[in-house]
Structures are given as structure tokens and as C-alpha cells.
């Protein structure tokens, strides 16, 4: 089992019509780390929507021909996906488009509704017909249902949000508006910026704003709905403060790019702090500190600075291979062989501190340790910049089964023996607040304390299974 993050969203509204899909393309490229399964773009040309989406990386799905096939426009949204609900098919690619009685809508979603299964059951019993196995379609259906009586699309979204539980950072496009919304807990990040020509850009991470030349303005507050149109902008705050803020701590440990800033916290700095904490609380005598590319590198630098042990690049990453964490349904062992190569002159005869962000089932860690041993490492002391994974996550991280988590079945000493290291230690769970200078975070995958009710059906393929059961 691997752990995955669901997706990244991007949206733009411009005062001028142009080949706006190209801007979205570069924004999605910057968010590729958030999902490598599928992607898509929908462009709005004065109320006429054109789209292109498919399974694959951004560079695989879009080329000059497919981008040129999308019309010029003033509004567009895009999405990169890894499925935490729904299978990896073209039908589940986002953004999702809806034609309803009062117009058109396209929507892209990052996160996971913890009550999606119950909501979908309820809707199907009233005659709703679903075309995908993604919980994003449930969101779209409830918004369009509310739109039948609501005075505007933003009011419809505002009403629908009272029904949603769990994680959702959304970009939504109507014929005239770009709308962004973040769930009341603020599980997943969402921010916006401004370009020199007056265009407004919304993205899952600030790194995507920088990629298209937008100046960061601010993060959306948990529960906030931001509406942008030709008249300006408006903030709807009916859901703000309704629930305690619980941003996902693993965004800082692994998911986000290190050059992003989320809710005022620099991701790179947060990871360095984790490394420093490991060095202070879990020291070891060694000759060199190395990190597992990419998300272990920042913590390794922090460990080195705090401990005084020299930092070196000990593993070379093939940058043309996607992240093992995000690539589903493939052999992780085979990918590690291709993806990482040890630098023998750094490792041979050395006592090595190996820093990584997490251990899931131990397969990849064991293979990496074997690579280091083959390169001549004398000792390997592994330090993990997160606490042990012990519990499922229901908010957009693909941890849906406790029995697949090695730390749930084995002690730290047993895991060390399984993966072949001389010593192993994890970040103390009580240190997590130091990473974000706050206690307003969700760490349910580590401590089992959930901000929402636990879902009635936790299977990733619950909607697909439901359809199969109906056919039998």
C-alpha cells in the first residue's frame, strides 16, 4: 500500500480574453506533485465551455494541439488528480461540468468528503443519476440542486456547504464567475493571487501562483467562499469559525512543495524544524546525514545543522520518474530501483543518518536501505520526520486500512529489523505543533482523533463497489 494525496486545483479569471488554457497548464505543472493520475482544463468563453481532460501527467495529456483546441476565454479552471474515491478512469477526470436549468457550472475539488457515501445514497433515493464514482460529483449535484432556488451560484454553494463534512478546497466556474471555497476546518490549502494585468488566480499552493507570475495575496480562511467576477470580488464568511481549524499536518511534512507557504508557514522551514527536533530528541553518532529525495531533504538539512554532522547528497533521484507515493497500481520496488541511485563515494564505510518523511508498509524503506548497504554504508540510522502512521485518514489522504500500516502491527524495534536499519526513530507526536507554530492542525492519522464523524463506508472504491453490487 502507498499513501497518496488526492489532487490540486487551479483557477483564473482575467479582464481580457486570450488563450487562457496556457496559463492553467503552467499552473497545473506546478501542482503536478499533488496528483499524477489524471488532469483536465475547462475554459469559459463568454458562457461557452470547452474542455480537455484525460488520464496521465500534465505533459502527457496536454500538448500544443490539445491546448490550441481550447478556445480563448476569460475564466478557466484546472485539476490534477489522484483518486482517494473513485477509480482511475477518464470518466472520473476533473473538472466536472454540469448543465443545469439556470446555466452551466464546472467544478474541481481537492480533498475528500467524509459523508460522501451517505449523501450519494440520499440523492440516489430521490432520483439522482451519477456518471462518475468520485465524491466531487456529489458536491456538484448538491450545488446545482440548491441553485434551483438560490438567487446565485455562490448562494447555492453556501447552502450546500451545510451538508458537506470533511475536506474540500474547491474552484468553481459559472458563465460569469470564478468561485473558490475552503471547508470550515481548512483541511486542505487554498490561496489566491493577482497578476499584473489584473487577473485573479486561485490555487492549492502558492508555488502555482509564482509559476504563472501572480503575486500572492492571501490564503482563504477555513469556511470562506470567495467570488470573483467583472465587478470585483466578494467574501462570504457564513461558515468561517463554525468549526475548529484543523489543517492537515502532513501537508507540511510531505504533500506540499517546499517553496510553498501555507497559512503563513513556509513548508521548507517547517521540514527543517522537524529535522532539528529529530537531532535534538533522537541523536546518534554518525559521519554523514542524507535525505530521501525529495521530501526528506529539507528535514535532513535541519538534522545536519542541529547535530553538526555533515549533510551530503547520498541518493540521486531520476527526475524523470514520478513520485512513488503518488503513482498508483505499480510496483514500488521496481520504481525504487529505477528512481533512486546511491552515491557510493558518500556512503562507503560511513555511519549514515537516513532521513525520510514517513514509513507506510516498509517496502520502499527496506529497498532504500538495501541500496545503501550495497553502496558500502557501515551503519544506517533511520530518522522519520513524522510520527508513526497508525490510523486511517478520511480527508483526502489515501490511508484507508490500518492493517496495511506497518507501525500498526509492529514495534519500532521490529520495524527497524524488518527494514534492515541499525536504529529507527520517529518524530515525537508532541512536537508537531512546533512545525506550524500552532495547535490548529489535524493529526488523526497519527493519533486517531478525528475532527468529524467517522464515515459509514471507508473503502476507496466504495462507489464502484456499489455499482457492481447493483448489477449482480
- pLDDT at residue 337 greater than cutoff 80: no
The crossing angle, in degrees rounded to 10, of helices 412-419 and 363-374 is 50
Per-residue pLDDT at 461: 54
- Candidates 64, 29, 26, 25; CA nearest to 41 is 25
State the Cα–Cα distance between residues 373 and 367, nearest whole angstrom.
Answer: 10
Do residues 281 and 373 share a domain? yes
Residue with cell 493519533: 447
Residue with cell 450545488: 143
Decide if 331 is inside a domain: yes
The CATH number given to whatever domain includes residue 316 is 3.40.50.2020
Same domain, 164 and 233: yes
Whether the pLDDT of residue 241 is over 60: the answer is: yes
Q: Are residues 240 and 272 in the same domain?
A: no
Structural domain includes residue 31: yes
Domains identified in the chain, total number: 2
CA–CA dist 296, 329 (Å, integer): 23
Residues 6+ apart with CB under 8 A from 369: 354, 380, 382, 419, 420, 421
Tens digit of each residue's pLDDT (9 = 90 or more) over 267-291: 999 999 999 999 999 999 999 999 9
Residue 257 covered by a domain: no
Q: pLDDT-derived band of residue 462, with 50, 70 and 90 as boundaries?
A: low
Q: Are 185 and 165 in contact (CB under 8 A)?
A: no
The arithmetic mean of pLDDT across residues 418-444, rounded, is 97
> Both 239 and 305 in a single domain?
no
Point out the residues that are catalytic.
Answer: 7
CATH number (domain holding residue 72)? 3.60.20.10
Percent of the chain whose predicted confidence (pLDDT) is above 90: 79
- Domain with 39 in it: 7-246
pLDDT in tens, 59-114: 999 999 999 999 999 999 999 998 655 555 677 899 999 998 889 999 999 999 99
Helices (H), 392-431: 406-409, 412-419
SS3 state at 85: coil
The whole-chain average pLDDT of the chain stands at 91
Amino acid at each position: 500500500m502507498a499513501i497518496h494525496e488526492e489532487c490540486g486545483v487551479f483557477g483564473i479569471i482575467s479582464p481580457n480574453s486570450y488563450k487562457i488554457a496556457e496559463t492553467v497548464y503552467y499552473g497545473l505543472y506546478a501542482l503536478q506533485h499533488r496528483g499524477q493520475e489524471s488532469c483536465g482544463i475547462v475554459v469559459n468563453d463568454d458562457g461557452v465551455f470547452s474542455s480537455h481532460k484525460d488520464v496521465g501527467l500534465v505533459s502527457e495529456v496536454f500538448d500544443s494541439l490539445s491546448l490550441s483546441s481550447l478556445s480563448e476565454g476569460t475564466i478557466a479552471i484546472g485539476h490534477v488528480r489522484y483518486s482517494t474515491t473513485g477509480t482511475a478512469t477518464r470518466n472520473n477526470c476533473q473538472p466536472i461540468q454540469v448543465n443545469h436549468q439556470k446555466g452551466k457550472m464546472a467544478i474541481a475539488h481537492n480533498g475528500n468528503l467524509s459523508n460522501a457515501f451517505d449523501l450519494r445514497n440520499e440523492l440516489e433515493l430521490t432520483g439522482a443519476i451519477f456518471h462518475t464514482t468520485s465524491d466531487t460529483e456529489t458536491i456538484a449535484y448538491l450545488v446545482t440542486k440548491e441553485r434551483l432556488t438560490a438567487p446565485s451560484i455562490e448562494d447555492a454553494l453556501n447552502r450546500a456547504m451545510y451538508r458537506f463534512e470533511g475536506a474540500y478546497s474547491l474552484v468553481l466556474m459559472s458563465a460569469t464567475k470564478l468561485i473558490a471555497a475552503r471547508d470550515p476546518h481548512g483541511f486542505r490549502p487554498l490561496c489566491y493571487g493577482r497578476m499584473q494585468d489584473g487577473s485573479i488566480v486561485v490555487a492549492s499552493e502558492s508555488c502555482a501562483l509564482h509559476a504563472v507570475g501572480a503575486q500572492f495575496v492571501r490564503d482563504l480562511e477555513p469556511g470562506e467562499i470567495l467570488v470573483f467576477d467583472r465587478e470585483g470580488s466578494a467574501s462570504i464568511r457564513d461558515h468561517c469559525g463554525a468549526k475548529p481549524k484543523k489543517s492537515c499536518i502532513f501537508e507540511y511534512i510531505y504533500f506540499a512543495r517546499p517553496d510553498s507557504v501555507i497559512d503563513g508557514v513556509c513548508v521548507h522551514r517547517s521540514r527543517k524544524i522537524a529535522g532539528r527536533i529529530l537531532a535534538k530528541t533522537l541523536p546518534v553518532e554518525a559521519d554523514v546525514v542524507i535525505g530521501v529525495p525529495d521530501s526528506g531533504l529539507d528535514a535532513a538539512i535541519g538534522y545536519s545543522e542541529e547535530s553538526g554532522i555533515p549533510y551530503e547528497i547520498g541518493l540521486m533521484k531520476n527526475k524523470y520518474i514520478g513520485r512513488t507515493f503518488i503513482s498508483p497500481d505499480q510496483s514500488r520496488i521496481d520504481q525504487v530501483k529505477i528512481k533512486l541511485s546511491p552515491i557510493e563515494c558518500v556512503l562507503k564505510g560511513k555511519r549514515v543518518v537516513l532521513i525520510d518523511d514517513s514509513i507506510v508498509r516498509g517496502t520502499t524503506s527496506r529497498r532504500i536501505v538495501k541500496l545503501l548497504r550495497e553502496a558500502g554504508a557501515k551503519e544506517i540510522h533511520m530518522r522519520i520526520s513524522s510520527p508513526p502512521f497508525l490510523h486511517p485518514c478520511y480527508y483526502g489522504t489515501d490511508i484507508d486500512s490500518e492493517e496495511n500500516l506497518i507501525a500498526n502491527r509492529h514495534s519500532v524495534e521490529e520495524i527497524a529489523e524488518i527494514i534492515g536499519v541499525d536504529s529507527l526513530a520517529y518524530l515525537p507526536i508532541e512536537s508537531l505543533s512546533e512545525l506550524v507554530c500552532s495547535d490548529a492542525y489535524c493529526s488523526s492519522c497519527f493519533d486517531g482523533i478525528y475532527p468529524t464523524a467517522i464515515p459509514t463506508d471507508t473503502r476507496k472504491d466504495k462507489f464502484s463497489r456499489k455499482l457492481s453490487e447493483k448489477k449482480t
